[in-house]
Structure 1
Amino acid sequence: MSAHPDGPGSVGSTLELITESDGATGHPAPSPSDSPGADLRDTHAAFNASRLAMAVIDRRGLVVTANRALGSLLGTEPEKLICEPASELVGLGHDCHTRDAFGEVLKGRDVPLRCTRRLCHPDGHSVWTEITVAPVPVPGDRRLLLSVTDISERRNLQSRLRHLQMHDPVTRLPNRTLFFERLAAALDTASGRAPASAGPRQDRRRVGLCYLDLDGFKAVNDTLGHRIGDRLLAAVAQRLTHCAERVAGYPDAPPLVARLGGDEFALLVEDSEGTEQLCELAASVLAVLQQPFDLGGQRLSVSASIGVVERPAAGTSTMALMQAADTTLYWAKADGKGRWALFDPERNAHRVTRQALSSTLRPAIDRGEFLLEYQPLVGLDDGTVSGVEALVRWQHPEFGVLGPNRFIGLAEENGAIVQLGRWVLETACRQARRWQLDRPDAPITVSVNVAVRQVWDSDLVADVAAILERTGLPPELLQLELTESAVMGSAGRPLQALQSLSEMGVGIAIDDFGTGYSNLAYLSRLPVSVLKLDGSFVRGFSSAEHPNPADEMIVEALVELAHRLGLTVTAECVESAEQATRLRRIGCDTGQGWFYSRPVPPERIPALLTGA
């Protein structure tokens, strides 16, 4: 034991100390017949014969001695490992964390170092290992024991299990879990949360996504069965993979193709070159999917809708990117399917606003955020105000005063139009009753727009009767306006409601007449008293820059037809004296538009009645 404890070649002293320590730990002392030299030789033999790769290293991190198993694992003779730095042999200096932990153990830290490393054998194959560095359990000995366990088989099993967990069994594509893992990693790299080795371009990286859905796939499952449906999904996956691999611009890193579930797929471009590249990818995908599929004699044709999103990776999130992709996919389907749509921030802002308005419509009615303005209906012969049209406005606390074009369609979609329509009808009737009481010698008619859904989803006749009774307004001073598409061809409940209202004395007007494809012969059988010509005719035939004689002829014919049927005609959107003059000459009865007055609050109407 004369060798320096940290010097190479002194393994005998270390092993001897391990042997001698048996007495110090309470084990029986060896009998005289037990030779210490024999124990030492046995220990040497066990060390060299062990299947566990081991080495003794000193506090400088150099190998003192190594066994045959370690030499075999590293593809060299054990003697050649002596005095070699352990950190280089087994890769303990490849990352800062492990390098620092190894340094702490060399300095005497009692907590052992454990890590996993992939070691390369000189013959080319690699081995996954678990490495442990711990102090030799002998008092006074400053050496360390390095052990290297081959975990390749366990690692391969884990890898196979992970592959099964991360891939779709039908298409063999990466599944939703792996897709989101890759997407999150791409965004983390761009956000600076990745190692510095990510490269100087990470702050400028862009990410792109094509999110696609097969059009009508449910019909395939329902009619041909899930077996054919699964075969179709597998065939689609093959085409998407082939398309991703051959699209120009991705020679080194083709897009990740994943199945997100059902008939939804995604192509993730983790280092996009720009929007044009993503659009080209989407167009290529549509082209390859348009070719018929031959599934064991079953020939199928499918199409897909694709939402395309491309943006800087830094500053975005997984949720934001997927929400944009989902929205854009919806646009592609709404625009006719079988196409791709590119995310448009302005269009998305409009959609978000639309959704916000839709969700707050009903509460806004309860909070009293709506008001009515009135636009006069003026006789073209004498210029007197014979009636007004009630126009609803929304005093939105965030978006200001909104016209009906911003929310009436939403109200019809979500059913709030019934509640809103009742409020408009009662408010207008109550106001018209006040005007009647103030000017009993010159009563005016109030015209109220009614959506067709109000006829179907409520008892419009009962509502009108109840409101007229509550307000005291005579039925002949109320006119209900329905669009041409809602009135023409009415049958069943709508026609019965119109007839009941007409018998009650309420006037019925067809709004925007001339914009639909009506059966004019049906007009004579409807309980209608007024036709309101769409403003496009008025603008067309009186345009000074581009006059259209055909529009004037059409208006003249419609006016003559209406008069023969005993109907009066109101022209909308009258904006000039020239228009008013020509409409009067043609024979229109009433005009409405900015030439006479913009929509005004109810207190302004009395002044218009007196011509003040």
Structure 2
Amino acid sequence: MHHHTLDVEIGRLISGPLLDCPPSTPIRDAARRMAERRCSAIVVTDGGRPVGIWTEHDALAVDDDQAASHRPIETVMSRPVRTLPASTRLGDAAVHFRSERVRHCLVVDDEGKSLGILTQTDLVMSQGPEFFLRMKRIESATLSIPSVIDAALPTADALRLMREQQMSAIVVAYGPGEYGILTERDVIRLVAAGQLHGPVGEHASRPLRALPRQQSLYAARQYLLENRLRHVGVHDEDGRLVGLLDLSGILSNIEYEYVRELQTALRERDEALVQSRANLRLADRVLESTHDAVMITDLEGGILRVNPAFTRLTGYAAEEAVGANARLLSSGRQSATFYRDMWHELREKGHWKGEIWNRRKDGALYLEYLSISTIRDPDGNCTHYAAIFTDITQRRQAEERLAWLATHDALTGLPNRTLFTERLDQSIARARRSGKRVAVMFVDLDRFKLINDTMGHSVGDEALAVIASRLKHAVRETDTVARLGGDEFTLLIEDIDDIRHVGQIAQSLMEQVGAAIHRGEHLLFVTPSIGISMYPDDALDGRRLLMQADHAMYEAKDAGKNSFRFFTAPMTSSAMERIRLESELHNALLSNELVLYYQPEFDVKTGEIVGVEALVRWQHPQRGLVAPDQFIPIAEESALIVPIGAWVLREACRQARAWLDEGFDFGRMSVNLSGRQCRHDGFLLELSNILSETGLPASRLQFELVESMAMMTGGGGIETLLHELAARGISLAIDDFGTGYSSFTYLQALPVDTLKVDRSFVAGIGSDDGNGSSGGTIVRAIVAMAKSLGLAVVAEGVETEQQMRFLAATGCDRAQGFLLARPMPAREMRRAAWRLAA
């Protein structure tokens, strides 16, 4: 509150027009004009310019003779005239009045033109000092001890006394306790009237008005204001006159308070300055240590300051950058439009963010993420720009690499299935408009697995890279060559006018791909089998074209490899049915059309359930229940067996856990495992996740593998996997045993605990005494061999009581078949178990 009270500009305190007169004006006329206007000073002007000032105080020097009062004013005026600008603060003016010992000051505007007179009275009577005056009593002010003169003293002597003692008023005593007062204002009135003679008592104002000294200075000021006085007597509690209070006494109080206020303001400013410096030091430390480059420029882009990170990023030292223009970093990669838009946004919004290419000192280009902000002064005017930027070149390269990998094969650099499918759809759309043909070629490398198995995967990868390059150079730039995975490639040939041209391309591919590959001292020969389908001849959508080319490729393989085949209509009877089934099988997984049936295994001696085999069925919306032998081979060929196998495993484990929770002890849950599943990289992780999610103990799970798969040698991949499964406590069974390559010595090396005798041998058990049939002989031999190896034996496909008796007599452990229980849904399983037990 204090600061605002003394913050008023003095230009606002001037009231009324300026009283002035020419230098030749007689003193008496000047005094008369002052008396009429009740002004305490008159400014002497010459040609509109102030040259001097004559005040009430100067009037004390006028003698009591007619000649004196008719002299021109310029002979008695004070010079030069003191001036203050109109913008001067009230408090500053108060200090100026005191230090210069003046009671009047001329107020001028910015051009030096006179606006009016500011007096001591104006300062005291203004609103500014009210706060201080309310807090102070009269007795705290500077009181002048009154000079008291007798009423009979000649007026001239009284004026001389006032002049000598620098008094603005003198007290006149008339009798005991009766006082009057003669002031400078009274003197002006007397000069104007020419009445400076006679005793002073005749000219003094009486009685002298007085106030008690306990009253506030504010009350004293109001009293003077209301009574148009500039002096008031001060009496004590007994009514004795103890002093004379005038405006200068009040003003000295205001000055003191103002100086104190000024000191407080200066102290606060110093404290703020210290805090500001601390903040600046902290900001400097942040600027120096941040990893982001910082550059501060003026409005024209001139660099004013940079930080160490700027030097590290751009290569320019601070002394090289400061003083230069920010264009120093320009790469030339951005257009004029780019910069125009950037500056427009910066001016409109006050900030801009984005990516921009710039150039280092050594000429290298880099991509930066740049943020520019406008810095404004307290009035909101834009003064500087602050740019913060960081190098994102490597990050962008990594992002681009990831984006590239999402659509390309890492080994060969060719497009992958995703990008090929996208381009195939686009080429069909173009061909539809142009009326031209599109060819899709499916290339599979013959006996490529042999290279991997005999010479290792690194040699295989080198061969794939060479073949990819040959395929790419065998077709036009506008055609697409892709690697779908493994040794499978696809080609997309556009703008075909004549189908014979496609045959020529295929012939050329066979020659180029089939050429020997030199690797050190070795020569590798890899031949391709190529299947071809045409748009719009064979199909109208990309997926069907790809499937048809795939099937045509298998036709080429069946015809003896190293050849090419076009997809032909006669294939439609059996091959198209396979294509249709494969397509529907894709949807079966998505639409939850697969279901599990369960067939129990029984202990031959006790008749108890000792295991359950999970068998997948396809509940087709049109075809009804599709048997596994109709769709599992298709799933194996198309690699759909991997997701189907994962679904079967998860569902079987879930059901097994549910039965255990219900108290139904079914023994072990048996699930068929295909070769493709075993070779799938993520199989073990998937198995761990399924057992963890379902909560089924590994000891309750059995995998069944077909004999040919279990006996595969070379590479050791399957063997390693089987040992890993056994180590986890999972039971392993050989399914359809006896139909394949039965190596008992190799069987000993595998962690297998169960053999399942193929149903064909069980069916061959004769109707005689059970000793003469070929089936019976083989079953007896398998059981004997299994016992010697410590393996359990399960007979599959038991359909007659006679077969069951033979198996019991032979010592076969378990049996499974329609005689005992058909495959059934889970909900029927427990009812059947109770029925069978009974």
Q: TM-score, normalised by structure 1?
A: 0.45
Q: TM-score, normalised by structure 2?
A: 0.34
More relative contact order in 1 or in 2 (CA 8 Å, sep 6+)? 1
